Amino acid sequence: MTSKKTVALVTGASRGAGRGIAIALGSRGCTVYVTGRSQSAKDSVLPGTIYETAQAVTDAGGLGVAVKVDHAIDEEAKALIERIEAEQGRLDILVNNACSLHDDLTQPGHFWQKSLAISNMLNVGLRSSYVTSYYAAPLMVNQGSGLVVFTSASGSVHYVYGPIYGAHKAGMDKFAADMGEDFSEFKVTAVSIWMGALKAERLQLLIDSNPKKYGYLENVTETPEFTGHVIWAMYADPELQQFNGKTVIGAEMALRYGIQDEGGKQPTSYRDTHKVAPREQYPYVIR
């Protein structure tokens, strides 16, 4: 596979994981469509816009294409895929990353004590990933190749922030498993990747708010670009389909492919830090 012809789509790429993944794919020469709602600094309390990410992708060596998409609107996701097909004729990598995160999610308290708005991540996050994959699937199936990625984390198998967060992560893993079953005869691969704690804008604000309490996070985080390099290595692997339907741990895949994070850091697997592992899906199929 040659990176010059590789077309990728990263949803929710104004900042955070999406931005880092897009830039990493850009550094491999990919054409990367980046989506989000932030077009100017006033659109969010956090820094970052789709245009800034697209420029960073281009600066890294690829071609960044910014597309404003509200992933709560199915028609906008459909139009996005139609545009990619019209302009590129193919889609090689889809990274489902867009997610509506409410500040109340990480606050202390039981689920009924937090804002009901937290549940929006089941719409823009879980459902939106299904919708984007739904419209992208025929394009990949028809070309006989493709990688569909769901960004996830270990909260799918243990308590983190409450049931909404856990349902989102578990759902992303399940999407990979069941879409992988449907993709199995078409040489398209679906995979969910557990990312580590990301040293991105949101987490940096938390660290800066109380360095004494949260300073330790500086040494246990991954850069947002790290997962992007893992995704590229998987895509370029001739044996990619062995991961179809699987949930993998990014840190472990990095070891497999000889990938280090910024400064030569080797992130640690959740198996070691949290004593957890992805669930294995049973092979029983009912259609």
Strands 7-10 and 31-36: parallel
Look up residue 234 and give its two tokens. Answer: 């998987």
Helix or strand (DSSP H, E) at 21 = helix 16-27
In sign, the C-alpha dihedral spanning 1, 259, 261, 248 is positive
* Closest alpha carbon to 24 in 165, 145, 155, 198: 198
| Residue of 33, 135, 165, 235 marked active site | 165
Identify each DSSP E strand in 55-210 by its residue range.
63-68, 93-96, 146-152, 188-194
List, in order, residues 6 or more apart from 31 with CB less than 8 Å away: 6, 7, 8, 62, 63, 65, 88
Q: Using the 8-state DSSP alphabet, how is residue 56 labeled?
A: H
Residues linked to residue 190 through DSSP beta bridges, in sequence order: 148
For residues 45 and 66, the answer to whether their CB atoms sit within 8 Å is no
Look up residue 129 and give its two tokens. Answer: 């990933």
Q: Assess whether 135 carries a catalytic annotation.
A: no
CA 273, chain centre distance (Å): 21
* Separate counts of helices (H) and strands (E) for the chain: 10, 7
Residues linked to residue 96 through DSSP beta bridges, in sequence order: 150
For residues 97 and 23, the answer to whether their CB atoms sit within 8 Å is no
User: Residues with catalytic annotation?
Assistant: 165
